[in-house]
Chain A
Amino acid sequence: MGGQKVCATQDVPAGEARRFGVDGREVAVVNLGEDGFRALDAICSHEHFFLDEGEVDPDEGTIECPKHGSLFDLNTGKPMGLPAIKPVATFPVTVTDNDVWIEV
């Protein structure tokens, strides 16, 4: 198991995202319920807004930037449409017992 412990599983309700500071980076941890957890840069690659404040779609595996609506693929970090152009970084997540670990 690599990385560091960021939060407990119950800190992020299913279908939602929360933001944590990890090594000076703002990281969004997303709980996809049965599909497990994902972690990605919390700051949108388009303008400086927090993705964790946007809506998670567990069926499509996406998160929506709350400012201009760009959708990001939670597995790859790639934007699925404009106005964002660049991907956001994603990080490997492991869950042990009730803890969420992230490699940044």
Chain B
Amino acid sequence: MVISQEEHLKELDKGYRFDWKDPSHAVFEPKRGLSPAVVEEISSLKSEPDWMRKRRLKALEHFEARPMPWWGADLSDIDFENIFYFIRSTEKQAGNWDDLPEDIRGTWDKLGIPEAEKKYLGGVSAQYESEVVYHKIKKELDDIGVLFTDMDSALREYPDLVKEHFGTLIPSNDNKFAALNTAVWSGGSFIYVPPGVQVDIPLQAYFRINAENMGQFERTLIIADEGSYVHYVEGCSAPIYSSDSLHSAVVEIKAMKGARVRYTTIQNWSTNVYNLVTKRAAAYEDAVMEWVDGNIGSKVTMKYPSIYLLGQGARGEVLSVAYAGKGMHTDAGGKAIHAAPHTTSVITSKSVSKDGGRTGYRGLVRVEPDAHHAKSNVRCDALILDEDSRSDTYPYIEVEDETASLGHEATVSKVGEDQLFYLMSRGLSEVEATAMIVNGFIEPITRELPMEYAVELNRLVELQMEGSVG
């Protein structure tokens, strides 16, 4: 991916590009803290069926009963009582950008979403605080039966489909934050692609937090029926505040026989957001599941997209790129569970830490008994740009079948002095040269992104390299 150096240089001094705040548009006065009453209120505001209300309340009990994770990042500063669990920003969802309040519309313009929608997206879902404020799918897709709505609408419009699949990949009691999400979820995307349908332009969701101490808990469910294809892209950002926000999503994906799902994330939360996300996909016979997971922002990220290879011949791929700068801890990774014969998985992770940041790869490749002839390859590379930064690699390999063939390799290094010297001798500044090397390092990931996102990711790298001299 080549971007003009001039363009880069212009960006270099700007820092985090997404730091603007709209005035509050809350439809009613939001309350801090979590209780059964808050959960009841969310459910009642959404006029949900009783089973969902009960599911939420039980999940709250799970959340309260489960201890905080003892592993991974330090979560001890999260103040659950100081978080807003639900903020409604518009009375109703818009299908036209012009119907949004001016500030909110301005935010989407600055993020470039309406423009992207025109150019290359098959559908857009724009979530602002707790709910999707704008949603639209191209008519052609609608006509051939592709369902793409926000999750709240899906529960109303396709109650049976939602009830059949909701929480079957990630039960509410899977982990503490899945329980929290199940209790207070709001927004997120619901996608159903009918058999044989190829959605050849991406569907996108963008998640924006605006308020301080916001808790955003979107819930996404994607079902790609037999032989279908869909590419879903999500992005996110928030203003910078001095106190913390919490983003805790649950994403469940089913790739049925012969289907292929690609899920791309460019996570660029501001550095006061805890990003604690559970993502899990099931791939059935000959299905292909791909996670492309870019984690550039947030204060703390703990996210390990997983793939359960449940049908013969299923394939899974995780491409993960993680960046951690000052005060950041990005603990990312991937999991592949081989539970059927002749399944394959590839996990590629690239991480960069700088200015005291800490990146981690945490992964699991597991081969169940009788999942014969499984093949898996894991490759993790880390760059540490200065002596205050840190990188950890925690891969787990568990094999219960003798025909499995698994490999794992990892390296940790610094930016090569020879490379730097060479580039600088060709007239590049140290910052530019470092950025170029880092861009080359994460190239295996960026080449898998849609063009616009690759450009965005490279630009982000340039920005982050600012001041990385030394």
| Residues of A near any B CB (own CB < 8 A) | 64-71, 80-83, 85-86
Contact = CB atoms under 8 A, between A and B. Distances in A.
A68 B171 contact: yes
A26 B166 CA distance: 31
Contacts, number: 39
B154 to A, nearest CB: 18
B173 A82 contact: no
A64 B173 contact: yes
A82 B282 contact: yes
Given A64-B173, A68-B175, 12 more contacts: A65-B173, A69-B62, A69-B174, A69-B178, A82-B170, A82-B280, A83-B171, A83-B174, A85-B310, A85-B337, A85-B339, A85-B368
Interface of B: 62, 167-175, 178, 280, 282, 308, 310, 337, 339, 368
A81 to B, nearest CB: 4
Nearest to B310: A85
A66 B168 CA distance: 15
A7 B466 CA distance: 71
21 contacts: A64-B171, A64-B173, A65-B173, A66-B173, A67-B173, A68-B173, A68-B175, A69-B62, A69-B172, A69-B173, A69-B174, A70-B171, A71-B171, A81-B169, A81-B171, A82-B168, A82-B169, A83-B174, A83-B280, A83-B308, A85-B308
A2 B429 CA distance: 83
A11 to B, nearest CB: 26
A-B pairs, 9 with minimum CB distance: A69-B171, A69-B173, A81-B168, A85-B339, A82-B169, A69-B174, A68-B174, A82-B308, A81-B171
Contact of B168 (A64, A80, A85): A80
A69 B178 CA distance: 10
Contacts of A64: 171, 173
Contacts of B167: 81
Nearest to B170: A82
Contacts of B171: 64, 68-71, 81-83
A67 B169 CA distance: 15
Nearest to A84: B171
A64 B168 CA distance: 12
Contacts of A66: 173
Interface centre among B171, B308, B339 (most CB of A within 10 A): B171
B138 to A, nearest CB: 32
Contacts of A81: 167-169, 171
A65 B172 CA distance: 11
B172 to A, nearest CB: 6
Contacts of B175: 68
A32 B171 CA distance: 22
A73 to B, nearest CB: 13
